[in-house]
Amino acid sequence: MKKYLLFLLLLTLFISSCNKEENFVNDFDDQNDQWGDYDDEGDYEDDDDYNDDGGQASEGALTLYRVDENVISKIKDYPVNSDLKNLQEDIGTHFKMWDFVSRLIPIQYRDKISEFEVFHGGGELLGYVLPPNGEDLSKWRFGLAIDAIEGDLGDIDFTNLFTYVAIHEYGHVLTLNDDQVNTGGGACNTYFTGEGCSNENSYINKLYELGWADLENDPDLEDPFALYDKHTDRFVSSYAATNPGEDIAEVFSFFVTMPERPTGNKISDQKINLLYNFPELVDLREDIRGSGGPVLNLRAGSWMENPLAKKFKLCNRKGCNHQSTSK
């Protein structure tokens, strides 16, 4: 039996189907008992005073910070079990995590990030983003798992899974914010992201037109494993087959970390080259690659070989599958 390299699990806001009530839906919908609770209670919808989502905000949530450019300040600690108390009190590590993000993503590209959450992913969740003020897509919460940290967060090392997670999650903010997606309602003739209607020239709509529109009637559209197996040449990673939102976050991660633009003509190559059509993304790419001093081991996909990646599971809409190694 063919095995896949399933290398990560990322919790994001992305949804592939329209749902009028939920502003935050992770990758694992209600079919998945383990994570279904995230979606059911609307915990994120009236969060603007920061006090009413209590301990229900997300499982493993430790501390929420307000972001003011490079500086974070605590909004609140979430109620946690005693076994997570030490991690919650380890503020030094929380600040190192944010410092790492602030070095990796230059400040001029972070104006949409208004909150930073540190959580414990239980060896399963690595990161997520969501718009804390509902339909206001100009502000985003950026969540990273404290148990996904490798090393001392000193150098920016692209073989480091934590680095990868930060880039991937940033890719969501980049492609789903208010400059890209319109929540005004009305008919949508472009890709509907779950939060709103993507702009005609948005990154995600262009990616959708390139590599998803003709899959609309594919019977495996909701089964990323089957979709990837059938259309491997379309995706930069198996996780990218989850949905267009995950796809563009993955494509963005490869776009940033690949030393040269692809020369092949596979759709996965075309997706990466698509991002080169946007001058502002070329600038962003260069700025991330030049961030934070020495950039080590800058090689696309190198995080897949990271032993830590095997610790995590990949979940999809059918549930979670344990990591398997490539054959």
Pick the piece of the chain touching Zn ion (CB under 5 A) from 18-26, 248-256, 270-278, 295-303: 248-256
Residues 6+ apart with CB under 8 A from 256: 167, 284, 285, 288, 289
Residues 6+ apart with CB under 8 A from 27: 9, 10, 11, 12, 14, 242, 246, 315, 316, 317
Site string for Zn ion, 6-25 (x = CB under 5 A): ----x-x-------------
115 Rama class: left (phi>0) / alpha (psi -120 to 50) / beta: beta
Q: Name which position in 249, 272, 274, 284 contacts Zn ion (CB under 5 A).
A: 249
Query: Are 163 and 289 within 8 A, CB to CB?
Result: no
Pick the piece of the chain touching Zn ion (CB under 5 A) from 96-104, 177-185, 240-248, 280-288: 240-248
Binding of residue 268 to Zn ion (CB under 5 A): no
Site for Zn ion in 122-151 (CB under 5 A): none
Query: Are 147 and 121 within 8 A, CB to CB?
Result: yes
Q: How far is the CB of 81 from Zn ion (least distance, A)?
A: 26
Closest CB to Zn ion among 84 and 168? 168
Closest CB to Zn ion among 10 and 174? 10
Q: How far is the CB of 154 from Zn ion (least distance, A)?
A: 25
Query: Are 6 and 324 within 8 A, CB to CB?
Result: yes
Closest CB to Zn ion among 118 and 166? 166
Query: Are 103 and 292 within 8 A, CB to CB?
Result: yes
Pick the piece of the chain touching Zn ion (CB under 5 A) from 68-76, 175-183, 222-230, 244-252: 244-252
Binding of residue 248 to Zn ion (CB under 5 A): no
Query: Are 120 and 58 within 8 A, CB to CB?
Result: no
CA atoms within 13 Å, Cβ hemisphere of 49: 2
Closest CB to Zn ion among 88 and 162? 162
Site for Zn ion in 155-184 (CB under 5 A): none
Q: Measure the CA–CA gap between 244 and 320, rounded to whole angstroms.
A: 20
Chain residues that interact with Zn ion, rule: CB under 5 A: 10, 12, 246, 249
